[in-house]
Amino acid sequence: MNQPHKKVYVVGAGLAGSECAFQLAERGYLVTLIEMRDQKMTPAHKTPLFAELVCSNSLGSTTEYSAPGQLKWEAERLNSLILKSAFEAQVPAGMALGVDREIFSKNITLALENHPNITIERRTVHSLEEIPRPAVIATGPLTDTALAESMKEHFDDEFMYFFDAIAPIIDTDSINMDIAWKADRWGKGTNDYINCPLNKEQYYNLLNEIKVARKIEAKDFEKETPYFEGCMPIEAMLERGDETLRFGPLSPKGLTPPNCTERPYAVVQLRQENKEATAYNMVGFQTKMAYGDQKRVFSMIPGLENAEFLKLGSIHRNLYIHSPKKLNKDLSSLKDPFLFFAGQITGVEGYFESTCIGLLVAMMLTDKIENREINFPPRKSAMGSLLNAITEEREHFQPTNINFSLLPPLEIPEGVKNKKIPKREKRDRMLVFAKKAFSEWLMK
């Protein structure tokens, strides 16, 4: 294969593709960014804007003691466009990085359209063979059918699938604040969430109505498709038992209404959706209920009796590559070393995880084009652990978010191995090592 030139093609302007294109352009490459949304929409997208958020409007925790927080700490030091844009479009969301979707996507679109090293092409790519190398495919889990078929042929294999779901969004003015109240769990934050309390009877009535509501049934070819754990429909959670929601998204822990000493039996939380705070989304209420039943059932929640739903929940089928079997460690194809893949299609799940894979691919592709040994992020870092999770050889592979189980276990000295270390202390130490390893890597 001839040595590629300094022009790179990126297909897909979602989170991963946008970040990847920006990082490559900042490194002096001439980037052609191809996006089909303008001519053709996916089942979940609504606009032609880049990096459109289709599920939640939260990019996850920013806390310094969490794995998602560590991932953002690392991305900030690599000049992430997505992270910078998220902070510019930030809305109150407690310890999470919630954003105004429209401002967020518009800022990223403008940044890429106005970058001197980026050319935008609005068209649909039907085949991998259409794209010159080097190329990055960042088309996401909703890749167009024709391109997905081309990828399937390239990999000599069926794709792997999972279902993803979207929660409803409510007009703020329609929320009954005589019943609902603003607070964060345990008083942490600035009272960013709207909380709707349920007593025991209300909780079980709600559960029963969710169970009997009409659902949008999967097509025959989708019947064996699993749900992703991090974005599971509320109906699927209920199949695990009636108390599942009370110990999950409807947990009342740390939430007591004002002028009340008794904690509710369950609490539905609403998270701010936009800068103006005119809309809130229902946390944990991804659903496959039919639209009419969603309005009826969710109006049973105290405080939402007259709720106006700006957007109802839905579910869609996503695809991803079995990366450990089909891709090199640098996320290039085993069959084509200058054909890279980035984002959710590689098997990461989560907005910011996809972003970081796009960022890493830009760095690894740069090393490969420049004939340098690829400088992989350290295994102890959040980025290194995320990359390891989707490239480490394994038989059973499914999408993953960043979490502490992906980081290498804490090395405990021989003399204290039998001493029990509190979980929080253990995780704090892991993050200290992650920061140290990442900082040293940046100095290379």
State the average pLDDT over residues 247-258.
92
Compute the average pLDDT of residues 197-206.
96
- 7-159+321-406 shares its CATH topology with 166-316: no
**Domain regions of the chain by residue span:** 7-159+321-406, 166-316
Which of these ranges, 99-108, 122-131, 134-143, 402-411, has the smallest mean pLDDT?
A: 402-411
What's the confidence (pLDDT) of residue 396? 64
Binned at pLDDT 50, 70 and 90, residue 164 comes out as low
Q: Which two tokens stand for residue 152?
A: 């399937």
β-pairing verdict for 96-99 and 266-272: unpaired
Please state, in angstroms and rounded to a whole number, the distance separating the CA atoms of residues 341 and 290: 35
**Integer Cα distance of 245 and 31 in angstroms:** 46
Given a cut of 70, whether residue 125 has pLDDT beyond it is yes
Asked if residue 66 lies in contact with residue 59, where contact means CB atoms within 8 angstroms, the answer is: no
Q: Tokens for 298, please give them.
A: 């969710």
Q: Which of 176, 180, 179, 191 is nearest to 93 (CA)?
A: 191
**Which pLDDT value is given to residue 222?**
41
Helix and strand counts by DSSP (H, E) for the chain: 12, 16
Give me the phi and psi of 93, to 5 degrees please: -155, 40
- Record: fold of 7-159+321-406: FAD/NAD(P)-binding domain (3.50.50)
Please determine, for residue 246, whether its predicted confidence score (pLDDT) is greater than 90. Answer: yes
Confidence of residue 395 (pLDDT cuts 50, 70, 90): low
331 pLDDT more than 80: yes
Model pLDDT, residue 413: 66
Q: Which tokens is 154 given?
A: 């390239």
Q: Which residues pair with 171 in a beta bridge?
A: 279
Q: Which two tokens stand for residue 305?
A: 């009796």
According to the model, what pLDDT value does residue 1 have?
38
Q: Measuring CA to CA, how many Å separate 212 from each of 165, 207, 209, 286, 294?
A: 19, 9, 5, 16, 11
Whether residue 86 is predicted with pLDDT greater than 80 in this model: the reply is yes
Contact 71, 17 (CB under 8 A): no
CATH number of 166-316: 2.40.30.260
Sheet with 135-137, strands from edge to edge, namely 118-122, 30-35, 7-11, 135-137, 339-341
pLDDT tens-digit readout, 130-159: 999 999 999 987 888 899 889 989 998 766
Per-residue pLDDT, averaged over 85-101, amounts to: 94
Report residue 236's pLDDT band, with 50, 70 and 90 as the boundaries. Answer: confident
| Summary mean pLDDT of the chain | 88
**Distance in angstroms (rounded) separating the CA atoms of residues 175 and 271:** 12
Dihedral of alpha carbons 311, 251, 175, 236, sign: positive
Structure tokens at 106: 């518009």
pTM > 0.85: yes or no = no
Quote the CA–CA distance of 215 and 218 in Å, as a whole number: 9
**pLDDT digit string (tens) for 40-80?**
777 767 788 999 998 789 999 999 999 999 999 999 999 99
Q: How many CB atoms lie within 10 A of CB 189?
A: 15
Question: Cβ(195)–Cβ(181) under 8 Å?
Answer: yes
